[in-house]
Chain A
């Protein structure tokens, strides 16, 4: 049976795709870029949704994985462009699939280190320790001059994807959109698996999970690391979209924004992050045209959403989450 939520999900995905294609037909490159931004931010928040929505791990430092992905694209791409070898004489690369792999692996390493220490704590300590780790790497990126330091690193030519011209806005949108759909599909598969059920139990009640023989720690750590990997791939795409990567991708504002996307869209819903990203980018764009004080009004909208409209966009469109 097709539920109301899936109808809404399909409509949202098709609307984004249609918007980009319509913009291409109308020759409005700017709107393709907006749609691409929605897809990429949606993917980053989808990654976080695995930890935060499904696992209940309120990571306030996920921007660090977004930034790691961005720097993977920037560093590999710039070495491929200049031809200089990296450390250990490794070659750079401008192939997106390879860059995504490197981004995901680097984020996995960072995710294991951060996760092993952070997941020992819970509640407000977890929020703050993830924030602190993100700040640590943020300051590292700022003070490390090899790849631009505070000024960031420009990517002169967008990295390549086999069989597509990534410099064409619609092609790059389709790659990003495909990545978003793949990310959402991974979450859907994980949620329906034995692992997903275990994660759900751990989120609801760790003591009961332990009592039925599920050790909460590895389940939470796995969710955290997988979540970091997905967000890192989004970071690599984001760097390619802007053809620029800077420490601000790792700032705590970015971490906050990723959480905001999930809440605007609807926590723990598969298409929530995408809906939230769409709403966020549209608010930013439309309010930004009306007033340069748009952040003030974004703050008000966010405040009202948190205080009075817990379900976000999907809660509004598709009704409350069914428990069970």
Chain B
């Protein structure tokens, strides 16, 4: 185990963290403003990845694909908001879970219908291929580094949007008192559609960015969705700041746990058992962490 490898793993953890943030930001905004639990957020992530892969293979340009992913996911989000989600705001969480679970079935099977069962591949743009030398002799893929940077920039942009713009003021007002901002003349239905489409676009972008690292396939959004739930529960539902810090925490703990636990256990156990137990324990680590945090702070670290 070398320092260079540890730094590489740490960066991988950060990269997972910022992608989780893109997912979690939308989920937590949607919950904070509309009080809606949206299981179909993972489907929007998948829509973004498929749109990017399809456009990139048609035009040959990854960048056009990224734009397509934002547009397709935002459009899909706006459409389901108007057709389905809008009817769920006044319902209890159980109905929301079920209706969005139904949307997952529809999206997954619909995507399989259009694109077939085989995974698509998305190539990393040529300008970001290859590795970058970092201080300390670490070679790290340029694309992953760009993903970390992009995630960080989007987080800053989102913070600016929410704290500095008129739309942000309305979003925050909507979180505090939705009847009152309706009474003040804000068109709350449009605001909800906009917030939902914004969350969807972020999820779609995350799907496209990760799609170039993994394969683009049906069901790719579900593991990420569940991790994003863990993130927003740890961060405190409705809190963007909480989501950002919890996303980095979950990303780093998950990646470093998988890397370090087998090594740590190998000092006290025979290697094969250390690998097995370390593997099992590290896949449970973030859930154990979540249980601990919730046992002491049942509403998350930064409850709104």
Chain A residues close to B by CB (< 8 Å): 52, 58, 60, 117, 120-121, 123-125, 127-129, 131-133, 135-136, 139-140, 142-145, 252, 256, 259-260, 263, 267, 293, 295-296, 298-300, 302-303, 306-307, 310
B291 & A306 in contact (Cβ 8 Å cutoff) = no
Residues on A with C-beta less than 8 A from B97 are 58, 60, 127, 256, 259
Q: Could you tell me the distance in whole angstroms from the C-beta of A305 to the nearest C-beta in chain B? A: 8
- Is B186 in contact with chain A by the CB < 8 A criterion? no
Please judge, given known A-B contacts A129-B233, A143-B280, A144-B280, whether A296 and B98 are in contact too, CB under 8 Å: no
Whether A299 lies near B280 (C-beta < 8 A) is: no
> Closest residue of chain A to B110, judged by CB?
A296
Nearest A residue to B223 by beta-carbon distance? A135
Contact B233 A306, beta carbon cutoff 8 Å: no
A and B contact pairs by CB, cutoff 8 A, 12 listed: A117-B295, A120-B295, A129-B290, A129-B294, A136-B284, A144-B280, A259-B94, A296-B109, A299-B105, A302-B98, A302-B101, A306-B99
Q: Assess the B84–A143 pair: CB atoms within 8 A.
A: no
Cβ-defined contact, A125 with B287, below 8 A: no
Q: Which residues of A contact B105 (CB under 8 A)?
A: 295-296, 298-299, 302
B294 touches A140 (CB 8 A): no
Q: Please measure, in the bound complex, the distance between the C-alpha atom of A310 and the C-alpha atom of B95, giving whole angstroms.
A: 9
B84 touching A303 by the CB < 8 A rule?
yes
Q: Is B226 among interface residues, defined by CB-CB distance under 8 A?
A: yes
User: Would you call A133 and B287 a contact (CB within 8 A)?
Assistant: yes
A129 to B286, CA, bound (A): 12
Q: Are A132 and B287 in contact (CB under 8 A)?
A: yes
* Alpha-carbon distance A143/B275, docked complex (angstroms): 10
Residues of B within 8 A of A259 (CB): 94, 97-98, 101
- Name the distance in Å between B116's Cβ and chain A's nearest Cβ: 12
Contacts A117-B295, A303-B103 known; 11 new A-B pairs at CB < 8 A: A58-B94, A117-B291, A125-B237, A135-B226, A136-B288, A139-B283, A293-B109, A302-B105, A303-B106, A306-B98, A307-B99
Q: How far is the CA of A144 from the CA of B237 in the complex (A)?
A: 32
| Residues from chain A with Cβ under 8 Å of B109 in the complex | 293, 295-296, 299
Give A256 to B222 CA distance when docked, in angstroms. Answer: 13
Chain A contacts of B101 at CB under 8 A? Answer: 256, 259-260, 302
| A-B pairs, 8 with minimum CB distance | A299-B105, A136-B287, A296-B109, A299-B106, A302-B102, A139-B283, A303-B102, A143-B280
Q: Tell me the complex Cα distance, A224–B148, Å.
A: 42
What 0/1 pattern do residues 264 to 304 of B give for CB contact below 8 A with A?
A: 00000000000010011001100110110011001110000
Cβ-defined contact, A299 with B104, below 8 A: yes
Residue from the set A133, A135, A267, A302 with the largest chain B CB neighbour count within 10 Å: A135
Query: What separation, in Å, do the CA atoms of A143 and B95 have in the docked complex?
Result: 33
A58 to B233, CA, bound (A): 16
Q: Is the CB of B280 within 8 A of A127?
A: no
Say how far A290's CB is from chain B's closest CB, in angstroms: 14
Closest A residue to B94 by CB, please name it.
A58
State in angstroms the CA–CA spacing of A103 and B279 once bound together.
26
Rounded to whole Å, the gap between the CB of B301 and the closest CB of chain A is 13
Q: Which residue of B lies closest to A308 (CB)?
A: B87
B93→A124 contact, CB < 8 A: yes
Residue B230, interface by CB 8 Å: yes
Contact across chains for B291 and A132 when beta carbons are under 8 A apart: yes
- Indicate with 1 or 0, residue by residue over B111-122, a CB within 8 angstroms of chain A CB atoms: 011000000000
Q: Does B108 contact A (CB under 8 A)?
A: yes
Asked, given contacts A58-B93, A125-B299, whether A252 binds B106 with beta carbons under 8 Å apart, the answer is: no
A145 to B275, alpha carbons, bound, how many Å? 11
Distance (whole angstroms) from the CB of B206 to the closest CB of chain A: 19
Q: In the complex, which of the residues A120, A129, A299 contacts B103, with contact meaning CB atoms closer than 8 Å?
A: A299
Q: Report the bound CA distance from A205 to B298 in whole Å.
A: 20
**Whole-angstrom CA separation of A293 from B107 in the bound complex:** 11
Flag whether B21 is at the interface (Cβ < 8 A).
Answer: no
Give the residues in chain B near A143, CB-CB below 8 Å.
276, 279-280, 283
Q: How far is the CB of A256 from chain B (nearest CB, A)?
A: 5
Known contacts A125-B237, A125-B298, A132-B290; A303 and B284 CB within 8 A of each other:
no
B291 to chain A: closest residue by CB: A117
CA distance A113 to B303 in the complex (A): 24
B87 touches which of A117, A140, A302, A307 (Cβ 8 Å): A307
Provide the bound-state CA to CA distance between A128 and B280, in Å: 21
Question: A residues within 8 A CB of B113?
Answer: 293, 296
Given A117-B291, A303-B103, CB of A140 within 8 Å of CB of B283: yes
Q: A124 and B102 in contact (CB under 8 A), knowing A129-B291, A259-B94? A: no
Bound-complex Cα distance A32 to B229 (A): 40
CB–CB A133/B291 < 8 A = yes
- The answer to whether B31 and A306 have CB atoms under 8 Å apart is no
**B37 in contact (CB, < 8 A):** yes
Residues of A within 8 A of B298 (CB): 120-121, 125
Partner of B84, one of A52, A256, A307, A310: A307
B285's nearest neighbour on chain A, judged by CB, is: A136
* Nearest A-chain residue to B236, judged by Cβ: A125
